[in-house]
Copies of this chain bind each other. A is one copy, B any other.
């Protein structure tokens, strides 16, 4: 009995994250999550209070470490704008392609047009990532590194939108790209490097003077 309760809670969140991504928040039942996690149904409420509590707990676990890396890039004084952009893309793409369950879950819930407490929270989380990217672009334009006529707001839509398309609609993107984007091996050996190269090239073409 070495493992503490934190491990069990983490295990539940692992499973819940996957099931939520597979079936959506409403489509995933507490019975299914507890069943696949191999724990009693009541444990979900015991640990996390409610179904929504489980959902929010998945958040807390992810977001804490996620943004510090990106932030450190944005604040690094030793890099110029192009280098920051490169680093940002490298880190971001590595992160989101691997932890795709979480981001699929995130995007599906935020795509509900009716606002609620959950969508507000998700909005806040996502906007932080956006803000870091926007600052890099804005700084680059200000310094004259990037084309000043660039639409930096729609550029946000392009970088995050392209990522979402590949990661969040794997049935589609696998057909488009030519291999299974959900396969871990394909992700590391094929998708990530290709995606990075493409994205840098695209942004360079658009942003350069």
- From 155 to 187 in chain A, residues with beta carbon under 8 angstroms from any chain B beta carbon are 156-158, 160-166, 168-173, 175-178, 182
Task: In the complex, identify which listed stretch (A41-49, A104-112, A138-146) lies at the interface while the others stay far away.
Answer: A104-112
Once the chains bind, are A177 and B154 in contact (CB under 8 Å)? Answer: yes
Question: How many angstroms between the C-alpha atoms of A206 and B198 in the bound complex?
Answer: 10
Task: In the complex, identify which listed stretch (A3-11, A70-78, A122-130) lies at the interface while the others stay far away.
Answer: A122-130
Please name all residues of chain B whose beta carbon is closer than 8 Å to the beta carbon of A21 when the two chains form the complex: 112-113
A114 sits at the interface (CB 8 A):
yes
Question: How many angstroms between the C-alpha atoms of A111 and B24 in the bound complex?
Answer: 9
Question: How far, in Å, is A180 (CB) from chain B's closest CB?
Answer: 11
Once the chains bind, are B158 and A162 in contact (CB under 8 Å)? Answer: yes
Question: How many angstroms between the C-alpha atoms of A110 and B176 in the bound complex?
Answer: 14
Question: How far, in Å, is A47 (CB) from chain B's closest CB?
Answer: 24
- From 87 to 122 in chain A, residues with beta carbon under 8 angstroms from any chain B beta carbon are 101, 104, 107-108, 110-115, 119
Looking at chain A's contact residues, the main secondary structure is: helix
With A112-B22, A113-B104 known as contacts, the answer to whether A194 contacts B154 (CB < 8 A) is yes
A23 sits at the interface (CB 8 A):
yes
With A22-B113, A161-B164, A195-B154 known as contacts, the answer to whether A169 contacts B107 (CB < 8 A) is yes
Question: How many angstroms between the C-alpha atoms of A166 and B159 in the bound complex?
Answer: 12
A1 sits at the interface (CB 8 A):
no
Please name all residues of chain B whose beta carbon is closer than 8 Å to the beta carbon of A39 when the two chains form the complex: none
A38 sits at the interface (CB 8 A):
no
Scoring A114, A115, A160, A172 by chain B CB atoms within 10 A of each residue's CB, the highest score goes to A172
Question: How many angstroms between the C-alpha atoms of A148 and B175 in the bound complex?
Answer: 21
Please name all residues of chain B whose beta carbon is closer than 8 Å to the beta carbon of A115 when the two chains form the complex: 171
